[in-house]
Structure 1
Amino acid sequence: MELRHLRYFVAVAEERNFTRAAERLHIAQPPLSRQIQQLEEALGVPLFERNARPLKLTDAGRFFYSHAVQLLAQTTELESMTKRVGKIERSMSVGFVGSTLYGMLPKIIRRFRSEYPAVELSLHEMSTMDQIKALKEGRIDVGFGRIRHEDPSVRRVVLREERMIVALPVGHPLDSAKPVLSLHDLVNDTLIIFPKAPRPSYADQVLAAFHDRALQPRKIYETRELQIALGLVAMGEGVSVVPHSVYGLKRDDISYKPLDDPNLVSPIIMSMRMLDESEDIRAMQALIYRLYDEAQMEYLPPQPE
């Protein structure tokens, strides 16, 4: 006996007519009659009074009908629950720092959703340090940040090293002075850094770049986020060292200049739990490298496992 036998039987019992039941089931009448006959032979009892018009259930048929309806309802519920469980299991929570949104991350998320529609993605903006904590607590499954932080429970993959550039207000003397700038050129300006908190953050990477070269900006202005920093730059309040991906914003009140030192970079780091070998995380990582190739962007190739 198979589930289809139960469905066919219930349809005939409710329609009290083989022709209408066949139409309801979208099958021909002769195969339906054969299926019901096979069911009766398997059970060893007649389920319908064949001579009655309309069809009537026998006592055994009425008993079988009540339980068949329950079984089919339970089967439908089981199917629905299993799909929900499968959907829950194929979910991925992604943490990210705000500055990664100006690079490839939006495209990565869109493409992943397109290629893996069964995986439900949820996004959470949080600092790199908060990502580490969230990974360990199971609140996110993968994080994208910029801070190199060692933790035995977290595996890091440096995807690429993003060059830093300078954001200047249009008309700034350095805008027309030379095509490529150095950090030394910026020390007499107010340096606008972000985010102000929590730390450590991208702001500390910028400050470390100056300190490593024995440079100290004349004045430092700390602000909460990149967009505010760019707004302050546009107003002429100072200059800011930003990731190269920010150039894509192309504001008409800000000029971007490259820096002369190729070592002035900020990493894009993908973090996950050390023992997490999820197929979906591996798929996302493979997709990232594929998108980098499509965009002809430089990146650090994955290390062999």
Structure 2
Amino acid sequence: MNLKFVEAFIWVVRLKSVTRAAEKLCLTQSAVSNRIAALESELGVELINRRNPHFRLSDAGERFMDYAERFLTIQREMRNELGTPDQQPFSLRVGAIESVLHTWLIPMVDALKRSFPPINFELTVETSPNLVEQVRRGSLDLVFSALPAQEEGLINETLEPFEMVFVGAETLAGPAPLELDALLRQEIMTFQRGSHPHLSLINALHAAGVYDKHVHAVSSISALALLAGSGFGVATLPRSVAERLEPINRIRVLATTLTLAPLPLHASYWNYPANPVLKQAIQEAVAYARGYGAEPAPRAEA
């Protein structure tokens, strides 16, 4: 039995789609369909119920899925026991929100490159809903986002959240916290509308009894920092991001009496029993992300 055909079957089941599995495996839809058909011919049973308008396995397909995963586990164990480490180039498709890009994404990439010299990266920086959809579809192997990806077969881990703070021009910083009235006299900016930081800010204002303050939505962290540094107004940013951008954009973290909820962070990723090197790279990436929150981020040089 061809284990590449078995792997194709597993991804069709995980993603509930031949189209998505083909995209995931970098194959044509017909190639994936042919692999499933070859397995069915070899086994003499129908694995996928094609009479149902929605994706559904046959009874035999349900039973074979268990065998398929065991086949790939045995293959991995044989390689570990009898073979040599796979040094062939492989790709890791990582997606992250912009807050991760501005903190530890690049150091994480550097660390993985040292551990896995043949690794090639495909990096995507997007909003959390887009990242979740891409990993659910199998277009990405691993994402770091403010939302967990809910899909059968996906693994989710909750990571250390980002502390959110207000930042503004250096002239606004002082020894005493900025009172609510003083804060409201400034233009206020945050992330794109509907994002967690945007909703968190609106909720904080409502909790303080403020319902009529206009909030500017800006989709770029760099733009937020530039606008705040220019004196346009104050912005909400993760503290670790703000401290890195302080010397570059002439901004300062502002002590305020208005408290913001932290920005949650989740790692969502697929398990790869047939590719132990890729699986290990994903595990090391997640471990790096977990370790990041345990110590302060290094400050950028002026």
Q: Deviations over 1:43-78 (max 9, x none)?
A: xxxxxxxxxxxxxxxxxxxxxxxxxxxxxxxxxxxx
* 8 Å Cα contact 2:108-2:288 kept in structure 1: yes
AA partner of residue 104 (structure 2): M
AA partner of residue 150 (structure 2): D
| 1:162 alignment partner in structure 2 | 162
What is the correspondence of 1:63-82 to structure 2 with a 5 Å cutoff? none
Return the alpha-carbon distance in structure 1 between the equivalents of residues 136 and 149 of structure 2. Answer: 13
Return the alpha-carbon distance in structure 2 between the equivalents of residues 270 and 215 of structure 1. Answer: 34
Instruction: Using the TM superposition, give the Cα deviation of residue 140 of structure 1 relative to its aligned residue in structure 2, in angstroms.
Output: 0.6
Instruction: Using the TM superposition, give the Cα deviation of residue 284 of structure 1 relative to its aligned residue in structure 2, in angstroms.
Output: 1.8
Q: Which moved more, 1:231-240 or 1:181-190?
A: 181-190
| 1:229 alignment partner in structure 2 | 224
Q: Given the superposition, is the C-alpha separation of residues 279 and 183 from structure 1 closer, same or farther in structure 2, using an over 3 Å criterion?
A: farther
Q: Given the superposition, is the C-alpha separation of residues 292 and 189 from structure 1 closer, same or farther in structure 2, using an over 3 Å criterion?
A: closer
| 1:61 alignment partner in structure 2 | none
* 8 Å Cα contact 1:191-1:217 kept in structure 2: no
* 8 Å Cα contact 2:96-2:124 kept in structure 1: yes
Match of 2:184 among 168, 183, 187: 187
Match of 2:195 among 184, 200, 205: 200
What is the correspondence of 1:34-73 to structure 2 with a 5 Å cutoff? none
Match of 2:244 among 248, 273, 285: 248
Count residues in correspondence: 205
Q: Given the superposition, is the C-alpha separation of residues 296 and 221 from structure 1 closer, same or farther in structure 2, using an over 3 Å criterion?
A: closer
AA partner of residue 282 (structure 2): I
Q: Given the superposition, is the C-alpha separation of residues 193 and 117 from structure 1 closer, same or farther in structure 2, using an over 3 Å criterion?
A: same
Q: Given the superposition, is the C-alpha separation of residues 212 and 282 from structure 1 closer, same or farther in structure 2, using an over 3 Å criterion?
A: farther
AA partner of residue 209 (structure 1): A
| 1:151 alignment partner in structure 2 | 150
Return the alpha-carbon distance in structure 1 between the equivalents of residues 216 and 285 of structure 2. Answer: 37
| 1:69 alignment partner in structure 2 | none
Instruction: Using the TM superposition, give the Cα deviation of residue 134 of structure 1 relative to its aligned residue in structure 2, in angstroms.
Output: 0.7
AA partner of residue 286 (structure 2): Q
Identity of aligned residues (%): 15
AA partner of residue 282 (structure 1): Q
* 8 Å Cα contact 2:200-2:260 kept in structure 1: no
Instruction: Using the TM superposition, give the Cα deviation of residue 225 of structure 1 relative to its aligned residue in structure 2, in angstroms.
Output: 1.0
Instruction: Using the TM superposition, give the Cα deviation of residue 236 of structure 1 relative to its aligned residue in structure 2, in angstroms.
Output: 1.9
> Where does the alignment leave 5 or more consecutive residues of structure 2 unmatched?
1-85, 274-278, 298-302
Return the alpha-carbon distance in structure 1 between the equivalents of residues 179 and 151 of structure 2. Answer: 37
> Where does the alignment leave 5 or more consecutive residues of structure 1 unmatched?
1-84, 298-305
| 1:284 alignment partner in structure 2 | 285
* 8 Å Cα contact 1:168-1:233 kept in structure 2: yes
* 8 Å Cα contact 2:160-2:293 kept in structure 1: no
Instruction: Using the TM superposition, give the Cα deviation of residue 149 of structure 1 relative to its aligned residue in structure 2, in angstroms.
Output: 4.6
Corresponding residue SS for 2:129: helix
Q: Given the superposition, is the C-alpha separation of residues 285 and 200 from structure 1 closer, same or farther in structure 2, using an over 3 Å criterion?
A: same
The Cα RMSD (Å) is: 3.0
Corresponding residue SS for 1:268: strand
* 8 Å Cα contact 1:187-1:216 kept in structure 2: no
Q: TM-score, normalised by structure 1?
A: 0.58
Instruction: Using the TM superposition, give the Cα deviation of residue 166 of structure 1 relative to its aligned residue in structure 2, in angstroms.
Output: 1.3
| 2:206 alignment partner in structure 1 | 211
